[in-house]
Amino acid sequence: MKITVLMGGTSSERNVSLASGIRIVQALRGRGHKVTALDPARGVISAGEERELSTGSVGTEPPSLEALSRFAEGTFLPNLTSMKEIKDADVAFLALHGGQGEDGTIQALLDMAHVKYTGSGHLSCALAMDKDLSKKLFRVEEVKTADWLMAPASIEQVEGMLGLPVVVKPSKEGSTVGLSLVKKREDLIPAIQEASKYDDEVMIERFVPGRELTVGILGNIALPVGEIIPKHEIYDYECKYTAGMAVEEFPAKLSREATEKVQQQALTAFKALKLRGYARIDFRLTGEGEFYCLEANTLPGMTELSLIPQGAAAMGIGFPELCERIVKLALE
């Protein structure tokens, strides 16, 4: 098949996307497919650039907003669907994370151009990216999620409704970019200001202490549950993308009953947002045995340290096979 992998882009998760994308390119070529790597911000990625990216390095921090603005100036996005690399492809494999690659924008463009692509549709991506809306839909389907407020909110409102500590984060971002754990009253406003750099809406969410769990969904199957044990208090950007900064256990050490319960909650969350193809649903497990859904990731990371490939591997699905299965789901 002719497959074009879209990677890079202009979001704060650009570096993660490039690391994901180059792995996918190599895996699909290894399965005999004709694969083109395409960055919506810069065009077709050359063989030399591919070799540089093959190190898979992400870095301990996201790229600066100034650097991202320079990439945005050269974006091919308005003309993307007229490019032969897109028009001639049997399928576009979306390895874009965050921003217009995951919020439904590119999905809508590809829909209008009648181009098949991996992952969820434009409406589902928009719902999942907006944490405020997705949490409301989770509650309708009886998927537990922590209480929250949307900024602006006073410290009195936060303490009265949520208590401290709270998590402050951009409502439409991923990879914990712009996220802060607020334990002291005086830290709330600076945390909101930091999150506001990345999004026009900021969520203030009750912090749920407990174990960090994740469930990958592939088609209509829940993959083995994973547990993440980060070196930092929260599973932040550095812990996610730096080797040795977190321990991931697949399958997680849970009872059969707990495993089945969280897998079912993940499938319910997947369906609540009308997702398709594949996704990753993240949870917290409290000491009392309650699962709280944190969010759904419609284009989860596919780097060497990413979670959904580890979940698939625990089920006996190697990375090249996982990528090919995702392509086949897009073609169904």
Active-site residues, by number, are 13, 175, 241, 280, 282, 295, 297, 301
- Residue 43, φ and ψ in degrees, nearest 5: 100, -160
Q: What angle do CA 325, 327, 330 make, to 5 degrees?
A: 110
Output the CA torsion 128→118→199→201 (10° steps).
-20
Q: Please, are residues 113 and 28 in contact by the beta-carbon 8 Å criterion?
A: no
Q: Please, are residues 2 and 58 in contact by the beta-carbon 8 Å criterion?
A: no
Dist. CA 295–CA 223, nearest whole Å: 17
CA atoms within 13 A on the CB side of 112: 10
Query: Considering only CA atoms, which of 164, 142, 146 is closest in space to residue 268?
Result: 142
Query: Considering only CA atoms, which of 63, 19, 34 is closest in space to residue 300?
Result: 19
Dist. CA 3–CA 1, nearest whole Å: 6
Q: Please, are residues 76 and 44 in contact by the beta-carbon 8 Å criterion?
A: no
Written as six digits, the tokens of 90 are 């049997």
Q: Please, are residues 168 and 4 in contact by the beta-carbon 8 Å criterion?
A: no
List Cα–Cα distances, 325 to 30, 297, 299, in angstroms. 14, 18, 15
Written as six digits, the tokens of 245 are 């900064």
